[in-house]
Amino acid sequence: MFLYSHTENAQIDAILTIGALIGGSAGILLAILLFDRKTVKDNMMSRVFIVCVFVIQVIILLMVKGHHADHITLAFWEFFAKYKILLIYLAVINFIAFVAYAVDKVNAAKHRSRIKIVTLLGLAFVGGSVGSLLAMYLLRHKTRKDYFTVGVPLIMIMQVVVIFYAMNTGG
């Protein structure tokens, strides 16, 4: 919060990006949770980036520490066939995300109350990244905002890493 109020736009984002990439994502995330929980458009991209990097770093740490199966697999369809409920959840949340973006697009065109940015990104984060990305480009909505055009694909990458790790935990 102090850095955002005392630096020009984008300067703090560069500092946070570098800090997160060199391993400081946990500390930055803790500072945000303790001191600056208010989300605004100016800090949205850095928040999305920090959370995604944190999740990926935790998974890399677990893999390095040996918390994985004896052999690494890329058999995504076998994994989803085994855990059909996860596939159903992902289908439902992606549908909900697509509909939320569509509703927001209609509301924007009719100058009505909009869906909050954090809600749209939250839907992407909890599994609806494919639906979010499809809605963005099929409906041409939120395609000029970097926290969507960069954030949603980054969330998607994070989700692929999480699924890859879940597939390879030996469970």
- Domain spans, the chain: 2-167
Torsion from C-alpha of 90, 30, 50, 169, nearest 10 degrees: -50
Going by C-beta distance under 8 Å and a sequence separation of 6 or more, which residues neighbour residue 78?
Answer: none
| Residue 68, pLDDT score | 84
| Residue 72, pLDDT score | 83
| Residue 75, pLDDT score | 87
On the CB side of 169, how many CA atoms lie within 13 Å of its CA? 12
Contact status, residue 56 vs residue 158, Cβ threshold 8 Å: yes
Backbone Cα Rg of the chain: 18
Please give the distance of CA 15 from its chain centroid, rounded to a whole number: 20
| Residue 106, pLDDT score | 95
| Residue 6, pLDDT score | 61
Question: What single-letter DSSP state applies at residue 83?
Answer: T
Q: In which residue ranges of the chain is pLDDT below 70?
A: 1-13, 36-37, 40, 42, 170-171
| Residue 24, pLDDT score | 80
Three-state SS sequence of 135-147? HHHHCCCCCCCHH
